[in-house]
Structure 1
Amino acid sequence: MRSYAIGDIHGQIDLLRGAHARIERDRAETGDAEAPVVHVGDLVDRGPDSAGVIAFLSEGIAAGAPWVVLKGNHDRMFAGFLERADFQDPMLRPDYTWLHPRVGGLETLASYGIANPGRRPVAELHAEARDKVPAAHHAFLAGLPTHLHRGEVFFVHAGIRPGLPLTAQTEDDMTWIRRAFLDDLRDHGALIVHGHTPVERATHYGNRLNIDSGAAYGGPLSVVVIEDRDVWELTERGRQPLPPY
């Protein structure tokens, strides 16, 4: 059973197009046009073209591409802001909001043509966002699933709560969890493929596979292909084995 997966995108449309080009080359070599491409969330924030990323993915899915897009914490915060100007994600530290310069929402608003978002009242920004962000983009974000369980692999944005069945995981954990998941070495019953916590390159830990290689901060956008529980990274040179370290 083959699946492709792409790490946290964060508005990097050029890297996303390049990732899909590597997948198409692998498809041509294997003759497999049907294996799904799973994007593990965080489409938006920090990078230059969150609007373009959402358009690319939503339009591709509407056209019948075998793509799955999961909900990341940044996608959840953007959708929440479009609902309410005073939205505060309960998992975000209380002294931050989605509009804090370190979170990245300001860059997302700018990608929709909203001028000077860092120097304007929140209510005014919210009203303009409601006007300029297409309703289809809002609906797409709001409707994103939190996970995909396929064969021996469980795809999710941030991770899972160790010790709980995969069917009992909460959205808060699947979009936000870090240390309780990252520090747990037990087998989770499936290989957990996730992003959310940047690493230098895609890394296979045996029980989990982290594919967030820091595209938000100038790093690459990782792309992998998984067959059962075997993993290869897709590079410009083709498949490179990615065994547990």
Structure 2
Amino acid sequence: MTETGIHYLDARGPDGMRLYAIGDVHGRHDLLAAMHRRIESELEYAPGSDWRIIHLGDYVDRGPDSRSVIDFLIETRKRDPRNIMLAGNHDIGMLEFLAEAEPDGLFMNYGGVQTAQSYGVDLLRDGHWYGRAQAIARGHMALVKAVPRSHVDFLQSLTFSATFGDFFFCHAGIRPGVPLDRQNRQDLIWIRDAFHDHPGLFSKVIVHGHTPVPEAEVKANRVNVDTLAWKSGTLSALAVNGGDKRILAMQGKAL
């Protein structure tokens, strides 16, 4: 520990607790299930350890099977609440679209069409350039009917951050200069440049996703595990066991 913060190399998880932080899933149920099998296999060899699996948000949009991702996460958390699910901007965007059919919002412009397809709904059916808004309005009504109440409840239940040991977990990052317990929710799911460009250490190492990188990015003050899983076929996670820190990468088919 320095006077100004904690360096990744010095950061530790809580004694006796293994931490796993999984990056943006974006509808890749296949990779998420495979990552959980990998983690469960590791935990079988550490029966005396407590653990937390922290999912960093963006479960929906872009990839092929958002519905199955949410089903999986609901069941996983029900089976053991040590599975923690944080909110991503795309998850909040889905909630916002279900509440109001915004034709030019995040959901429609960045992968919501694929999310709707996983629920059996074509948002743009019979929609031409002059009738797009009407088609979206019809699709919106169909999607509201198709999305189970349990999925809406799940999205509404998502928290925005978690802290364990020397690590702070969130979807996008934090606003430098603002205490961790006073961060704005919009920053936690949307921030990029002001966070990425900050040269100093924070009071904890920030573990996040949101901004795709070719491979997990480990910096002195942060770790980014968004490796564009929906397209690249690589879902990444940070594993922490005391002072030991590793990147896990689950490989699958690229789209």
| 1:139-193 deviation digits (Å, cap 9, x = unpaired) | 1102200000112110000000011000110111000000100111211100100
Which one has the largest radius of gyration? 2
What amino acid does structure 2 have at the position aligned with 1:163?
G
| 1:58-111 deviation digits (Å, cap 9, x = unpaired) | 111122252001000000100111112238xxxxxxx654212xx000000000
The 8 Å contact of residues 123 and 138 in structure 2, kept in 1 or not, is answered as no
1:55-74 matched pairs, under 5 angstroms: 55-74=71-90
1:1-245 matched pairs, under 5 angstroms: 1=14, 2-32=18-48, 34-86=50-102, 96-100=105-109, 103-115=110-122, 117=124, 119=127, 121-228=135-242, 230-235=244-249
Q: How many aligned residue pairs are there? A: 227
The 8 Å contact of residues 31 and 233 in structure 2, kept in 1 or not, is answered as no
- Taking a change above 3 Å as real, the CA distance of residues 105 and 116 of structure 1, as seen in their structure-2 partners, is closer
Q: TM-score, normalised by structure 2?
A: 0.84
- Taking a change above 3 Å as real, the CA distance of residues 229 and 155 of structure 1, as seen in their structure-2 partners, is farther
What amino acid does structure 1 have at the position aligned with 2:52?
P
**Percent identity of the aligned residues?**
41
What amino acid does structure 2 have at the position aligned with 1:117?
L
Gaps of 5+ in 2: 1-13, 251-255
Cross-structure match for 1:243? none
- In the alignment, the residues of structure 2 paired with residue 169 and residue 229 of structure 1 have an alpha-carbon distance, to the nearest angstrom, of 26
Cα RMSD (Å): 1.8
The 8 Å contact of residues 34 and 66 in structure 1, kept in 2 or not, is answered as no
What amino acid does structure 2 have at the position aligned with 1:17?
A
Gaps of 5+ in 1: 88-94, 237-245
- In the alignment, the residues of structure 1 paired with residue 73 and residue 97 of structure 2 have an alpha-carbon distance, to the nearest angstrom, of 21
